[in-house]
Structure 1
């Protein structure tokens, strides 16, 4: 027994004394130990062998009894070389995220200040570009396939999967969106024209404007739309949904041209009589309202917003109410998307706004989603005017756009932002109801859930993603998804973001480093959510 104990102690000393010696160095010191010393650590980790290089029977028995040393990977080797306990976690944060760093340091983590190093347990980067040669144990703040949710081009395509897979109509929460690509250009043209026809009827009923020939043609086109079961592609094969003659009548501003084309196109065909044109227009509009969840959002101007499919911060965005102008603007090879503009936005103090909502995804197979209980509103600098589509300061809420306006610093809304608590107070004060809790936030949670379900697995287990969802609210308190941003801005650009960004970065650390019951302002999103309907 005595000889075994002595052998045991001797072997433990051979195995672990170099490691214990290195660990006596300061944990936070990143000065490397000599390479010779590191090599001796590696040699000492093997069980002693006899002269033939094989284990003796006694040594075999010892190797079965004693715990085997952990096989070192490149990160372990780096930690030992820098005098860091193997159990201590190391992080790299690229960019300026002081609160994130502070939270990790407070939890006993050590920062590797080399942003290009591959030695880390956790990597936080701004760019969505995924690094190569990650070990399975290393955690990063992006999924390999995050563009499936964060790129406008991909999101437009993926949301269409909801209806065949889950029976969820994306038109109930995502304004119609088309990519300038292949047959989708034809789909865009057809929808632009049919919504224009509906706007002719709306203007006729609302303002009593529009000649008989144009209104009668719009009734014919809209009835055809009501009989179409496909919400994405209206045409059968290559035949346009609206004929050239019909479009000339609907889009022309010349009364003479309209009348000549109408007489030629409808010669010998039955159309609505002049004395029944109003009642038929009303009936068709009522049917469209039941048929199309975007009926009110479409408005009467047929305005569409054009965005580069993989750019952010409002770059190259433009508004159009003319189909030929859209085609001309999107001729260059960028991945353009064209989306229906929300023409009935809710306004506060005559200004448009959107809502930036943080979402944390910690797994996509199965889906695990956390939504933050605080968010903020971003307002346009200038008052909303739908008749002026060239002034983007009236229409875009991006801080990167607004700050370039001469009116930004004198806006009556400080920093053009509100904390959600101010919005809640506004709603209760003006509508005598907590509309945020009863109507708006439940819709937001539903949309987040279904949008992530549409993209499926984003790949890799030891990844997480912080997403910035942008929503708009219309005059009927319907919530619309605008876009989803990977690596959303975490700048202290205004008093509102200074407060919220600090909170959310601390709380992200609480969730990803769990398990712990305290998750700060994040709540886990339920997976059994309802279909979305619009009023």
Structure 2
């Protein structure tokens, strides 16, 4: 009878606490409530209460299958979850997941754990929960301060310090990037743009000469007279490239003062304008073979020190990105220096906050039937000390809707983000092998490589290169991210492939979209979420548990973190007791090399005055003459004492050593 009254009270409590405007509770019966209470009591004891922000049906279903109970956060006026970013979720899938709860048992258990602690948080935003107030055993899917490498500005600046963590060069996997909001960064970009224009012009000369040679390979080629402007430009480009090579070898430090100075601002303006005329506008030129040979020789030397020389192309195109936006918003491509600077200078707020970055565009990517693509690759970080990185074995490709061309810089050609391309209609000129949903799985791409005899390069070049880039990017951010235990985070890295299939890291995204927008993402996104829970939950209980397609690629040795003691500094020490640092007042019975005593009489001329330090220390004793008379019995003559004079007066003026010393001095003076 008592239990029946308790069940009735519980039913009243649940109805009274049911949020207004939320889904009403189904008709309750004592048996269902008794079953729910039994399940809840067990899950609470096992610390299996979770909370999810947003409709992630795969994660929710996987946790429930593991015996977890969800503590839902009901919002007034919303019957279902309303995520802030609708693109990252599937509302229909979440509604189907709730419809499976036909008897309302899960809704009932969710209300029964309304006052219990949550032990697993999954949020769609890093700032949704203050991690500093979480208890040690609570898990969350975001690290604090991870924006140091998930923003375009953060990744750009962090990789500059890679040499402190590893011997790798970031320019071998990350295109050159600058933060235009900083004055020194802006100046460095302008210098890079000018230098790249010189290299691009040399490549243009060589390529044009090769094209002419192919067109007239059966004809006799006569030496042609080129316009004076071309010779001058080639000489300028060769000189600037030579200066660049000498700067890498630090030979410019000892350079002669008679060396020809670099171009002035006006000279660079003329060079850049002529560069646009020949390269961008395709003005006709004729070049001597001797100049072409010099250009080829210089390019061979540059290829040894410039890993991005091949992918840079000849148009000197750069991509401008707002540093804090995602899904391709605000990104533009430009190839004129004045256009790039004007795009940034228009918004003084972004300049002040250093939000703009400019990055060298890969003009010569690997194409699939003439269409550009990028690779979305997932990886998981489960700890930052020691740094522990899991790499997912599956990935997918995202294509643009238009064939690749440098004649236009429209985003439909050069940006592969699905959030942009899904609103565009695929071009009829695009190869039919590219699907209408603009996506391929990695298996489909490997089939394409096999048809070209390049399948082995996927395992030998692409995958190792992506792993290396991810590891180096995380190494540079290790000291900046909060290394809270029981925290994990899933990231999405975007790569482009060069003409040799070498991967280039473009950016790293926090909270990558898990929306099943295509059949490819519907399958892979569900699989990566399920495998992620295997790593962070199943492997905690059993180290031999299956981790799916997640592969552990890096686990650093643990680093001891010193205990934080606050801003107050203090020094700990102890008092020395019975310490006598002065020479003994009478001869020692045992011989010692340190205190060597002579029996010879001390001549008057060798008698020296006491050190000033001693006289100041004993000034409170009776007046002592400046020189000790030779007739006074001095146990240890000063000139025969081989040690060094030092005076250390302990804090305690009544110590035993000080008293003995004073008595000895008084006895000498009284005589």
Secondary structure of the structure 1 residue equivalent to 2:465: helix
- The change in CA–CA distance for 1:121 and 1:99 in structure 2 (over 3 A counts) is same
- The change in CA–CA distance for 1:278 and 1:499 in structure 2 (over 3 A counts) is same
Shift of 1:30: 12
* 1:252 is the counterpart of 2:273: yes
1:244-292 Cα deviation digits (max 9, x unpaired): 1441232123999xxxxxxxxxxxxxxxx97743222211111111111
In structure 2, runs of 5+ residues without a counterpart are 18-36, 76-113, 210-225, 254-260, 278-286, 557-671
* 1:298 is the counterpart of 2:312: yes
Shift of 1:523: 0.7
* 1:503 is the counterpart of 2:530: no
1:455-474 equivalence runs, <5 A:
455-457=477-479, 458-459=481-482, 460-474=484-498
Partner of 2:606: none
Give the length in aligned residue pairs: 439
Shift of 1:165: 3.3
Give the Cα–Cα distance (whole angstroms) in 1 for the partners of residues 276 and 62 of structure 2.
Answer: 69
Whether contact under 8 Å (1:466, 1:488) holds in the other structure is yes
1:279-313 Cα deviation digits (max 9, x unpaired): 22211111111111111011100000000111100
* 1:336 is the counterpart of 2:337: no
Give the Cα–Cα distance (whole angstroms) in 2 for the partners of residues 278 and 432 of structure 1.
Answer: 33
Give the Cα–Cα distance (whole angstroms) in 1 for the partners of residues 302 and 514 of structure 2.
Answer: 42
- The change in CA–CA distance for 1:87 and 1:432 in structure 2 (over 3 A counts) is closer
Q: Which has the larger radius of gyration?
A: 2
1:92-491 equivalence runs, <5 A:
92-114=51-73, 119-129=117-127, 131-132=129-130, 133-182=133-182, 183-208=184-209, 211-229=230-248, 243-253=264-274, 276-331=290-345, 332=347, 333-334=349-350, 335-389=355-409, 391-407=410-426, 412-457=434-479, 458-459=481-482, 460-491=484-515
- The change in CA–CA distance for 1:291 and 1:324 in structure 2 (over 3 A counts) is same
Shift of 1:241: 7.0
Give the Cα–Cα distance (whole angstroms) in 2 for the partners of residues 474 and 115 of structure 1.
Answer: 48
Give the Cα–Cα distance (whole angstroms) in 2 for the partners of residues 501 and 421 of structure 1.
Answer: 15
Give the Cα–Cα distance (whole angstroms) in 2 for the partners of residues 157 and 393 of structure 1.
Answer: 29
Give the Cα–Cα distance (whole angstroms) in 2 for the partners of residues 192 and 202 of structure 1.
Answer: 15
Whether contact under 8 Å (1:160, 1:170) holds in the other structure is yes
Give the Cα–Cα distance (whole angstroms) in 1 for the partners of residues 276 and 58 of structure 2.
Answer: 65
Give the Cα–Cα distance (whole angstroms) in 2 for the partners of residues 218 and 427 of structure 1.
Answer: 38
Give the Cα–Cα distance (whole angstroms) in 1 for the partners of residues 300 and 67 of structure 2.
Answer: 63
Whether contact under 8 Å (2:201, 2:275) holds in the other structure is no
Secondary structure of the structure 2 residue equivalent to 1:126: coil
* 1:519 is the counterpart of 2:547: yes
1:461-491 Cα deviation digits (max 9, x unpaired): 1211100000010111111000000000100
Whether contact under 8 Å (1:88, 1:108) holds in the other structure is no
Secondary structure of the structure 2 residue equivalent to 1:414: coil
Cα RMSD, aligned residues only: 3.3
Question: TM-score normalised to the size of structure 1?
Answer: 0.76
Whether contact under 8 Å (2:328, 2:419) holds in the other structure is yes
Give the Cα–Cα distance (whole angstroms) in 2 for the partners of residues 155 and 461 of structure 1.
Answer: 24
Give the Cα–Cα distance (whole angstroms) in 1 for the partners of residues 490 and 500 of structure 2.
Answer: 30
Secondary structure of the structure 2 residue equivalent to 1:227: helix
Shift of 1:414: 3.5
In structure 1, runs of 5+ residues without a counterpart are 1-17, 36-78, 235-239, 257-272, 529-535
1:493-533 Cα deviation digits (max 9, x unpaired): 001000101111111111110233200111101459xxxxx
- The change in CA–CA distance for 1:158 and 1:170 in structure 2 (over 3 A counts) is same
Secondary structure of the structure 2 residue equivalent to 1:215: helix
- The change in CA–CA distance for 1:324 and 1:476 in structure 2 (over 3 A counts) is same
Shift of 1:416: 0.3
Secondary structure of the structure 2 residue equivalent to 1:431: coil
- The change in CA–CA distance for 1:31 and 1:371 in structure 2 (over 3 A counts) is farther
Whether contact under 8 Å (2:446, 2:455) holds in the other structure is no
1:9-28 equivalence runs, <5 A:
none
Give the Cα–Cα distance (whole angstroms) in 2 for the partners of residues 220 and 471 of structure 1.
Answer: 35
Give the Cα–Cα distance (whole angstroms) in 1 for the partners of residues 363 and 139 of structure 2.
Answer: 43
Which of the numbers 516, 519, 534 marks the counterpart of 1:492?
A: 516
- The change in CA–CA distance for 1:495 and 1:484 in structure 2 (over 3 A counts) is same
- The change in CA–CA distance for 1:244 and 1:475 in structure 2 (over 3 A counts) is same
Whether contact under 8 Å (1:218, 1:250) holds in the other structure is no
Give the Cα–Cα distance (whole angstroms) in 2 for the partners of residues 124 and 527 of structure 1.
Answer: 24
Which deviates more, 429-438 or 337-346?
Answer: 429-438
Whether contact under 8 Å (1:92, 1:122) holds in the other structure is yes
1:348-377 Cα deviation digits (max 9, x unpaired): 021101100010100011011111111000
Give the Cα–Cα distance (whole angstroms) in 2 for the partners of residues 510 and 156 of structure 1.
Answer: 33
Give the Cα–Cα distance (whole angstroms) in 1 for the partners of residues 276 and 516 of structure 2.
Answer: 56
Give the Cα–Cα distance (whole angstroms) in 2 for the partners of residues 230 and 341 of structure 1.
Answer: 27
Give the Cα–Cα distance (whole angstroms) in 1 for the partners of residues 136 and 310 of structure 2.
Answer: 49
Shift of 1:97: 1.0
Whether contact under 8 Å (1:88, 1:110) holds in the other structure is no
Give the Cα–Cα distance (whole angstroms) in 1 for the partners of residues 495 and 551 of structure 2.
Answer: 19
1:208-245 Cα deviation digits (max 9, x unpaired): 497111111111111111112399xx9xxxxx975314
